[in-house]
């Protein structure tokens, strides 16, 4: 049997879209988290915190554009259904991202006495964006259901995703800062972790309970066996992070990147779980990736470009992270 391009292409694009959502959640997750932590930081720490994300946030947000773009171009039918169903939370997220993005620049360029108000908007924008993304995740997990229950669950996931981003932000600060701010960041990380665990637990329980199909996928015999490592490893990593972070920051600044890496793996595992649950649907229980996919010839021409360009993008993104590697303690960028 030959390789069947028309059925392989939607699968490849679902993978690419999932990958860019995951990269977005990890990368912009720490940006948004740092923004949320503005609420807890002292004024003199805010410039350093901005310094830790300054050169990156633009490129990080571009992964969201790629994810939305891939949904748009590869699964045009799903794009319409999902985004019209999520009209208001998408709107809230966009307002949040607008506020966050412009406040980032305005706070540094307006007259000094107005800087405080843009700091507040930077925090508010980051929080709104994080909350609305969480709300969308919650509603999506319930199969885009409507009603009070779905809204309530949406708000619960909203809080937990915001907490997870906050944990990412704190972990990033542990890596990029030192001294008093780094010590504070450890405290922030531990507080945010509690809600993160709660959120992942809530989503993990709600997903199978909301759909008998997903329930059967997880709780059928042999599948259960080889799926078991997913929740177990996640739980183990949370435990490791909790214990390790208790002794951070290390005097020689060892393990500074550990919380961030651990959280990234946890996010990836959670994401893998979701992907397994929803496959092969892109609109839960309504449209599979094959039903929603664009024409194969259009997908093929995008894929050709993607395979060539994506490695280049990843290469120069890594280059940029290396250029701005190390601590961002003071504000001089030499």
The footprint of other proteins (CB under 8 A) covers: 47, 50-51, 54-56, 58-59, 61-62, 64-66, 68-74, 76-77, 79-84, 86-88, 90-91, 94-95, 97-98, 100-102, 104-106, 108-112, 115, 294-295, 297-298, 301-302, 305-306, 309-310, 313, 316-317, 320, 323-324, 331-334
Quote the least distance from Cβ 80 to other proteins, whole Å.
3
Quote the least distance from Cβ 321 to other proteins, whole Å.
9
Nearer to other proteins by Cβ, of 79 and 217: the residue is: 79
End-to-end Cα distance, the chain: 58
Nearer to other proteins by Cβ, of 238 and 324: the residue is: 324
Answer yes or no: are the C-beta atoms of 296 and 9 closer than 8 Å.
yes
Question: In whole angstroms, what is the distance from residue 41 CA to residue 314 CA?
Answer: 32
Nearer to other proteins by Cβ, of 5 and 91: the residue is: 91
Q: If you write DSSP's letter for every residue of 122-180 in order, what string do you get?
A: HHHHHHHHHHHHHHHHHHHHTTS--SHHHHHHHHHHHHHHHHHHHHHHHHHHHHH--HH
Nearer to other proteins by Cβ, of 178 and 269: the residue is: 178
Q: Which helix (H) or strand (E) holds 105?
A: helix 87-109
Quote the least distance from Cβ 7 to other proteins, whole Å.
17
Instruction: Tell me how far the alpha carbon of residue 154 is from its chain's centroid.
Output: 16
Quote the least distance from Cβ 242 to other proteins, whole Å.
33
Determine how many CB atoms are found less than 10 A away from the CB of residue 33. Answer: 28
Answer yes or no: are the C-beta atoms of 259 and 248 closer than 8 Å.
yes
Quote the least distance from Cβ 58 to other proteins, whole Å.
4
Determine how many CB atoms are found less than 10 A away from the CB of residue 229. Answer: 11
Q: Which residues contact 38 (CB under 8 A, 6 or more apart)?
A: 46, 49, 119, 122, 123, 126
Nearer to other proteins by Cβ, of 101 and 201: the residue is: 101
Nearer to other proteins by Cβ, of 27 and 36: the residue is: 27
Nearer to other proteins by Cβ, of 120 and 230: the residue is: 120
Quote the least distance from Cβ 179 to other proteins, whole Å.
16
Comparing CA positions, the residue from 282, 272, 280, 198 lying closest to residue 238 is 198
Answer yes or no: are the C-beta atoms of 125 and 96 closer than 8 Å.
yes
Quote the least distance from Cβ 253 to other proteins, whole Å.
21
Determine how many CB atoms are found less than 10 A away from the CB of residue 129. Answer: 29
């Amino acid at each position: 049997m030959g390789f069947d391009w028309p059925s392989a292409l939607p699968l490849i694009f679902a993978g690419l879209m999932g990958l860019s959502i995951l990269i977005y959640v990890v990368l912009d997750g720490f940006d948004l988290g740092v923004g949320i932590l503005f609420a807890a930081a002292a004024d003199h720490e805010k410039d350093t915190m901005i310094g830790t994300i300054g050169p990156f946030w633009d490129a990080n947000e571009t992964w969201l554009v790629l994810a939305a773009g891939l949904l748009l171009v590869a699964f045009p039918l799903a794009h319409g259904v999902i985004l019209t169903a999520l009209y208001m939370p998408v709107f809230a997220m966009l307002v949040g991202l607008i506020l966050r993005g412009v406040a980032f620049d305005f706070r540094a360029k307006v007259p000094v006495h107005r800087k405080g108000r843009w700091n507040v908007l930077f925090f508010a924008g980051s929080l709104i964006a994080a909350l609305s993304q969480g709300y969308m995740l919650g509603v999506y997990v319930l199969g885009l259901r409507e009603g009070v229950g779905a809204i309530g669950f949406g708000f619960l996931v909203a809080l937990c995703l915001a907490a997870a981003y906050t944990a990412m932000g704190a972990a990033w600060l542990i890596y990029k800062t030192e001294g008093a701010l780094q010590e504070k960041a450890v405290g922030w990380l531990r507080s945010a972790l509690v809600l993160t665990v709660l959120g992942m637990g809530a989503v993990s329980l709600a997903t199978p309970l909301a759909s008998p199909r997903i329930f059967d996928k997880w709780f059928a015999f042999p599948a259960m066996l080889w799926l078991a490592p997913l929740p177990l490893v996640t739980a183990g990593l949370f435990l490791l992070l909790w214990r390790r972070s208790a002794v951070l920051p290390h005097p020689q600044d060892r393990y500074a990147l550990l919380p961030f890496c651990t959280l990234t793996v946890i996010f990836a595992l959670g994401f893998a779980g979701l992907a397994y649950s929803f496959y092969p649907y892109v609109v839960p229980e309504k449209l599979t990736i094959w039903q929603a996919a664009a024409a194969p010839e259009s997908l093929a021409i995008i894929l050709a470009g993607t395979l060539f360009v994506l490695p280049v993008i990843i290469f120069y993104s890594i280059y940029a992270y290396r250029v701005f590697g190390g601590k961002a303690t003071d504000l001089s960028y030499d």
